[in-house]
Amino acid sequence: MNLISKLLIFGIVLYSSMLAYLFFFQDKFIFYPPKPNTSWYRQMQKYEYYIDTEKEKLHGWQFNNPDIAHSNIIYFGGNAEDVIYNIADASRYSASKLFFTNLPGYGNSTGTPSEKSFYDNALQAYDTIVQKHQLDPDDIIIMGRSLGASVAAYVAAQRKVKSLILVTPFDSVANIAAQQFSWFPVRRLLRHKFNTMEYVSQINAPILIVAAEHDEIIPKTNGNNLYQARPENISLLEVKNTGHNNISQNPQYFQYINGFILANTALAE
């Protein structure tokens, strides 16, 4: 066997090995559940709630703004986010009730992260929260950040909502993966496609996209594609001087979100 043949075989074996690695370990590229901070959990215990779904027990936190009589937010976090930390800023939202729910495998929620488990359990979380608190769907805002934006879009496409807020969203995991691993057929390998674009195109309610000016995780193209899906009912606002992980630290973040909430509240009255 000559040198060229050996190199060719080596290349095929190496490429095949990398394909296998991407397929079997793709969950590690998508989901990064942080370890719960037990000290913070104890401090926030008065806000916690549990939701029993068909297969899992979801853990979350509810915050009430007693001086606000409109809008209820149901929030889903990103791929490396424990939603408990949103409690610290919950009073800054122009909303009456806020529900932050950790999806399967995150925080103290049971289960394993996956596209199906996220979508199915988020939908059941919505149904449980609406029924238990006797909320009017016309006064519910679904909100999601990053990977949670895809979950939020799925719920808003399946249920009646007042509006939808997507923070640092993407059009689909498949599109991002195809850009990052262009040498591999990742669209065929992916088990978790999180096709946000598909669900956004089905939603008639007003949508706000909040993007970071210097998002180092989600390319601008992937966020802008969502706007093109329904430009007639989507507002796209960019928070200046922010990245993917620090966007909520800029006061402009809450100005945009609350402005959107109040504008749509006024339209509904």
pLDDT of residue 227: 85
The residue among 20 and 147 whose pLDDT is bigger is 147
Q: Is the pLDDT of residue 131 over 70?
A: yes
Query: Hey, what amino acid is at 181?
Result: F
pLDDT digits (tens, 9 = 90+) for 219-254: 888 888 888 887 788 999 999 999 999 999 999 999
pLDDT digits (tens, 9 = 90+) for 88-116: 999 999 999 999 999 999 999 999 999 99
Residue by residue, what is the 3-state secondary structure of 116-171?
A: HHHHHHHHHHHHHHHHHCCCCHHHEEEEEECHHHHHHHHHHHHCCCCEEEEECCCC
Q: How confident is the model at residue 182 (pLDDT cuts 50, 70, 90)?
A: low
pLDDT digits (tens, 9 = 90+) for 159-179: 999 999 999 999 987 777 656
Q: What is the pTM of this model?
A: 0.90
Distance between CA atoms of 170 and 31, rounded to whole angstroms?
15
pLDDT digits (tens, 9 = 90+) for 11-60: 444 444 555 545 555 667 678 899 999 999 999 999 999 999 999 999 99
- The structure tokens listed for 44 are 């926030």
Return the C-alpha torsion angle 192, 195, 196, 199, nearest 10.
Answer: -120
The mean predicted confidence, pLDDT, of the chain is 87
Spell out the residues 6+ positions from residue 135 whose beta carbon is closer than 8 angstroms to its own.
72, 97, 129
List C-alpha distances in Å: 24 to 4, 39, 105: 30, 35, 18
- The structure tokens listed for 144 are 């999601």
- The structure tokens listed for 52 are 């029993």
pLDDT of residue 60: 97
Distance between CA atoms of 118 and 235, rounded to whole angstroms?
26
Distance between CA atoms of 110 and 105, rounded to whole angstroms?
6
Q: Are 163 and 264 in contact (CB under 8 A)?
A: yes
Residue by residue, what is the 3-state secondary structure of 45-106?
A: HHHEEEEECCCCEEEEEEEECCCCCCCEEEEECCCCCCHHHHHHHHHHCCCCEEEEEECCCC
Distance between CA atoms of 209 and 215, rounded to whole angstroms?
13
51 has which bridge partners?
A: 58
Q: Which letter does DSSP use for residue 202 in this model? A: T
pLDDT of residue 144: 97
Q: Is the pLDDT of residue 81 over 90?
A: yes
pLDDT of residue 14: 47
pLDDT digits (tens, 9 = 90+) for 189-206: 567 789 999 999 999 999
The residue among 151 and 10 whose pLDDT is bigger is 151
The domains of the chain, with CATH numbers, are: 31-268 (3.40.50.1820)
